[in-house]
Structure formats: C-alpha cells, structure tokens
Amino acid sequence: MIKSSSIKTISLSIIVFVFFSCQNHKSRQIDFPPTDLSTEKIIPKPLSINATNSGFALDKYTYISCSENKDMMDIANYLKEKVNHKTGLSLAINTHEADYESIIILETVSHPIAEKPEAYHLKITNDSIILIGNTAAGVFRGIQTLRQVIPNLSYDTISDTKTWIIPTGIIKDHPQFEYRGTMLDVSRHFFSVEDLKKFIDVLSYYKYNALHLHLSDDQGWRIEIKSWPKLTEVGGSTEVGGGAGGFYTQEQFIDIVNYAASHHMMIVPEIDMPGHTNAASVSYPFLNGNGKVIEPYTGTNVGFSTFDTNKDSVYSFIDDVIREISAISPSPYFHIGGDESHVTKKEDYVYFVNRVEKIVQKHGKQMIGWDEVATTDVDDTSIAQYWWSKENAGLAVKKGMKIIMSPAKKAYLDMKYDSLSAHGLNWAAYIPTNIAYDWSPENYGDIPLENILGLEAPLWSETISNISELEYLAFPRAIGYAELAWTIKENRNWEDYRIRLAYQASYLNKMNIDYYESPIIDWVVESE
Ligand code: TNX
C-alpha cells in the first residue's frame, strides 16, 4: 500500500510539474501535419486506438521522466537506447534542466487499469507522452508500441532541429493470452548465447513473453548439470549432421535468463523424457531402457529412445537435473517433454510421467508436457502443449488442465513456407505467411477459451544450423503468431495485417534479420 500510494504521489507531482513548467516555457509553435494514430502499422494490433490527428515532436528537446526505482530506470534506459538506435537522438532521463519542450512519462499505476498485469495506456499529446502500465511489464509492452509509432523518417524543416512526428491519440491495450511464446530446439543444432539474445530482441519487440528452450534430445544435451558432468562432456558434443554441438554452462544459462528478464520475458526450460533421450543415455548408459547398445545419434529419426522407467536410480538422476535447472530458472514452469515415446510401454509411460510430475512440483515448478502427457494421471495444475492430438487435448480439457496451443499444421515454425523453401520440413503442412496468420487459436480443436493459457510457435532445428537459417523460418511468421496471441479475434484481419506486416521491413533490416521475403507481401522499406 505504502509503495503504490507513494508511486501515485510521484507521478502526480511529475504531471503537475510538467503542466506548470510547460505553461511557463516559451512554448514553441510547430505546424504539425495531420496524422492518424489509428492507421499506424502496429503489431500486435492494440485493443483500442483513438486518434486525435495532431503530432508530438520527438527531438533533442524531449526527455524521459520516471520514478527512480530500478525497474522503471531500466525501462527508461532501454527506451533511450532504442530511440537512439532508430533516430540517433540521445534523450535525457529525469533531467532538471529547463531547456526542453516535450516529455515522455513512464509510470506504473496503483489502481489497475485492466485485470491483466501487462495492461498499459499510452496517451500522446502535442508536448507529452504519458505511458502508464499496471506493472513494469505493462510499461515495457507499451514501450514496444511507442517504438513502433516513431516514424523511420524525420522532418528537417518543420522546426530548428531534426524532428520525428509521432501521431497523437490514446491507445488502451492488454494481451488476450497470458502465455505468448516461441520455442527453439537447441538440441538438434546448437545456437549460441548471442544468437538467443538477438532472437529475444526481436521477439520482445512483438510483445512475446516466453522463450521455451528444448535443451535435450537424442542428438544433444545442451545444459551443464554439475552433478552429472558427462551429460555435456559426452552428450553435448554431437548434433544433427555430425557437427560439434555445444552446450550452455549454468553461468551462460543465467545470462540468457537475465537477458530475457530485462525484456520482461521468461525462459522455459525443457528436458525431454522418457523418449528423445539418446544423448543422455550415451553419457550415462544406465539410463537407457530400449535394450540396445547405445551409440551417439546424429540423424533425424524420432521415437527410438527411452529412459528405463523402472529404476529408482533414473528418478534420482532426474531429481538432480530438475533441481539444478530449477535453481537457476525463475520461470514458474518446467517442461518435461513427454512426446513420441514410441518404445516406452504405455503403463511405464504413465508411471514415469506421474512420478516426474511430483519431482517437478517438489522443486516448486508447474509441469508442462507435450499433449501426450494428458493420457496419464497428471494434476489439473499441469499444462498440456497441444501439438498434434486433438484427442489428447480433449483429455487435458476433461482433466481441467490449461493448454498451450501449438498445433503443428498451423503454428510450427519449422514447416516450409512452400515446396521451394530453402529450409524446413513438411510432414505436418506447408505453412505460408497467410496460413500462419489466418486461423483462430480460440477456435481450434474444440478447446474452450477458458482452458487456453496461450500460444507457442515451436522452431525445431533439424534443418537449420545458424542464426540466418533460424531467421528465415521464424520471420515473418513469428510476427503473425505474436498478434494471434496478443490481439482479440475481433481486431484481427489478414488484409489489414498484411499491410502492417509489409511495413516491418525497415525494422527487420535495421536489426539485420534474414527474414523470408514472402512474395505475398508488398514489402515497404523506409530508411533515413
Ligand atoms: C515432432 S513436435 C517432434 C519433434 C520434431 C518435430 C519436427 C514434437 C513434440 N516432437 O521431435 O523435431 O516433429 O517437426
């Protein structure tokens, strides 16, 4: 209570201060061109936009104001850096100098502006931008909207300095779904910490809040476990095609987690089991339950490996792995995989998933599993990720579980766009840019809306081995999935989205993203 009322006092005093200072200031006269905030190319499309058709001049006379707490200062510095990257301007933060003409105020509110923690309001007038959020995460999401309405091109003659005209009006916004993610398979091919950070930069621009890392599979184990060092020494040294593989040390994993957190995103770790475990069993053969001599695997088949589900030592191993990862992973979720365990007997699979669920819970996490886990006796607090089986998803609904929507035919980023695509698979479908966007997670597979936790677009990496190939498959489709997860169905429309997507080219180019230049989009490149 004390904290929130003092924040309110701070923000009120700032607003009063600004009002009076602007009154006293030799307010400059700018002849703003007409604008229309409602036709800005914002993705994901906000809940409501009221345009007031004038302009805010972003220039060297603009400064940022916020409370001096760490969360808000971090966001203010982030905004400063992003504005600098786009315009070259270097905005002051919380300056006491009188020499300014306009202000950007960032604040959290004491009374929620909507039920969703990530809700924000953005009010743009001639000389102020006021961005308020329910939480720091809400303000951060609003910053992404603000970044998107800063034009690429400046006016050189409208005032005595280079000026970027931001359209005025009010945006009120919050996400439809609380879970908005992509997944990256770092097992089939390894991706560096730098690659992940670049991916996070772009995902956060489109308001994603989760990056799920598929950290183990038959072809590679990718995270250091201090109590079982051979997992990375042996299991980390392979990948599809025979390359060198790789792994994240715990320090590197923490670095990734922190980088994501500074973008108000979480990392969801996955250790896939009892199938997809060849790399673990090569490292420690006692884990193996398929009765065969175990060899390193660098092909792309699935479904041939399994843990031995009847040994207590296997569960002690799993306890260590989940304990060590949970200790460095602030996300509330731990993903246990559970897919395609074709050589695990059904009763063994059920026993295994139930026992591992309890281990996950013991370490303070909520379990996520691919949709097959719904065939076991899991709790309704566990989450099923619907990738293939409508029947399994239906079982999850019956159990009262929440569901993450990732249907392979619509949401798999590793599916080719079409038969000419340079990378990707096509076992589920070809997914061109329009098909990726033009469906409703709200109405897929008869899942009631109240069971849907959110949407995730997985990127499996059998056919991609570097960041450029990753970007080819992920973009532009991941931009569309961001909108499906954030924006309500009533505000989505392919023809309208198609235009807004075309205008993302300048941003993607500036970020050096090797996106697929889908021929059904009339890409528009504007640059200074
Ligand atoms: C199925 S989707 C898998 C992965 C593959 C992917 C390729 C899922 C839960 N399992 O092991 O990489 O297909 O598209």
pLDDT digits (tens, 9 = 90+) for 131-177: 999 999 999 999 999 999 999 999 998 888 999 999 999 999 999 99
Question: How many Å lie between the centroid of ligand 1 and the Cα of residue 297?
Answer: 16
Burial of residue 240 (CB within 10 Å: 0-12, 13-18, 19+) is: buried
Q: Residues with Cβ within 6 A of ligand 1?
A: 302, 339-340, 370, 387, 412, 414, 425, 460, 462
First to last CA, the chain: 47
Residues 6+ apart with CB under 8 A from 507: 148, 205
Question: How many Å lie between the centroid of ligand 1 and the Cα of residue 321?
Answer: 22
Task: Tell me which of 213, 460, 461, 463 to substitute to probe ligand 1's pocket, judged by most ligand atoms within 8 Å of the beta carbon.
Answer: 460
Burial 58-84 (b: 16+ CB within 10 A, else e): bbbbbbbbbbeeebbbbbbebbbebbe
Average of per-residue pLDDT across 229-252: 98
For ligand 1, atom 6: residue with the closest CA: 460
Instruction: Grade residue 99 by pLDDT with cuts at 50, 70 and 90.
Output: confident
Instruction: Grade residue 488 by pLDDT with cuts at 50, 70 and 90.
Output: very high
Residues 6+ apart with CB under 8 A from 251: none
Nearest to 246 by CA among 207, 196, 200: 196
Query: Residue 458 in contact with residue 414, Cβ under 8 Å?
Result: yes
Nearest to 326 by CA among 254, 276, 394: 254
What atom in ligand 1 is closest to the CA of residue 412? 14
> Tens digit of pLDDT for each residue in 168-204?
999 999 999 999 999 999 999 999 999 999 999 999 9
Task: State how far the Cα of 406 lies from the Cα of 414, in Å rounded to an integer.
Answer: 12
Task: State how far the Cα of 182 lies from the Cα of 515, in Å rounded to an integer.
Answer: 16
For ligand 1, atom 2: residue with the closest CA: 387
What atom in ligand 1 is closest to the CA of residue 415? 14
Q: Is 70 exceeded by the pLDDT of residue 26?
A: no
Query: Residue 325 in contact with residue 271, Cβ under 8 Å?
Result: yes
How much is the pLDDT for 4? 38
Question: How many Å lie between the centroid of ligand 1 and the Cα of residue 524?
Answer: 35
Question: How many Å lie between the centroid of ligand 1 and the Cα of residue 4?
Answer: 46
pTM, two decimal places: 0.95
Question: How many Å lie between the centroid of ligand 1 and the Cα of residue 274?
Answer: 15
Instruction: Grade residue 27 by pLDDT with cuts at 50, 70 and 90.
Output: low
Beta-bridged to residue 190, according to DSSP, are: none
Task: State how far the Cα of 60 lies from the Cα of 22, in Å rounded to an integer.
Answer: 16
How much is the pLDDT for 528? 63
